[in-house]
A and B are shown apart, each in its own frame.
Chain A
Amino acid sequence: GAVVSQHPSRVICKSGTSVKIECRSLDFQATTMFWYRQFPKQSLMLMATSNEGSKATYEQGVEKDKFLINHASLTLSTLTVTSAHPEDSSFYICSARERGGYGYTFGSGTRLTVV
C-alpha cells in the first residue's frame, strides 16, 4: 500500500534555530500534501495544504512566514519551522493524497522539542 516516509521522527533544537521536516511518498505521486500539528491528548489541527508546484494554503491563524512549506516535487514536501520557540514544540504529521485517490496516507510524525 501507499507509504509516506517522514523524517526526522524526533528532533530537539535550540530556541531561535530552524528545523526542517521532510515527507516523501515512496510509491505514489502525492499531488496534495497536508501538514498537521497535534498537541498532547488532542486531535490533529490542519496547518496548511499544498499542491505540487504551487504555494501552500494556510489555515487561519497559522503564520506562513514561520511555517514554510515547500512541495516542489510529486514525492517530496517539507515543513520548515523558522526561528523556533518553545511554544512550537509539538507533534507534526504530514498526510499525502494521490490525484484521483480517495485516501489520505499519513507519515509517522515528528516530535519537535524546542529548548
Chain B
Amino acid sequence: AQSVTQLGSHVSVSEGALVLLRCNYSSSVPPYLFWYVQYPNQGLQLLLKYTSAATLVKGINGFEAEFKKSETSFHLTKPSAHMSDAAEYFCAVSDAGANSKLTFGKGITLSVRP
C-alpha cells in the first residue's frame, strides 16, 4: 500500500519569499512521485514528477522538488513566491504498474501575501 502525508492544511508566505510545501510518502515499492496544482473549479495541472531518474526534479513555473529516499520525502520548493502561485497543491504517489493509480495527499492551500 502507498500513502502520502502532507502536514498542515494551509501555508502563507509573502510575495517574493521562499515557498516550501512538505510531502512524505510511504511505499513498499520504488515510488513515482508527483506534485499537482489546482486552481478553484479547475482540474489538476502537473507541476513536476519523479520517475526514478534524477533526484532533483525541476518543474513548471519555477518549482522544483528533491526526492530523498532516506527521508521518504519529496518536498516542493520555489525560491520566490508570486501572487499567481496561490492555489491548492497536492502531492501524489504511484508505482510503475500499468494500471497503477495515484494516491493523493490531502492537499495544502498556499496563500501569498502582497
Contact = CB atoms under 8 A, between A and B. Distances in A.
A102 B51 contact: yes
Interface residues of A, number: 25
Contacts, number: 52
B43 A49 contact: no
A69 B34 CA distance: 26
Residue among A4, A95, A104, A106 with the highest chain B CB neighbour number at 10 A: A104
Interface string A20-47: 0000000000011010000000111010
Nearest to A51: B99
- Interface size class of chain B, counting residues whose CB lies under 8 Å from the partner chain: 20 to 34
Contacts of B42: 108-109
* Interface residues of chain B: helix, strand, loop or mixed (majority): loop
Interface string B61-82: 0000000000000000000000
Contacts of B46: 103-106
A32 B97 CA distance: 12
Nearest to B105: A43
Contact of B43 (A31, A93, A100, A102): A93
Interface of B: 32, 34, 36, 41-46, 49, 51, 90, 94, 96, 98-99, 101-102, 104-107
21 contacts: A4-B43, A31-B98, A43-B104, A43-B105, A43-B106, A43-B107, A44-B44, A49-B99, A51-B99, A93-B43, A95-B44, A100-B98, A102-B51, A102-B96, A103-B46, A104-B94, A106-B36, A106-B43, A106-B46, A109-B42, A111-B41
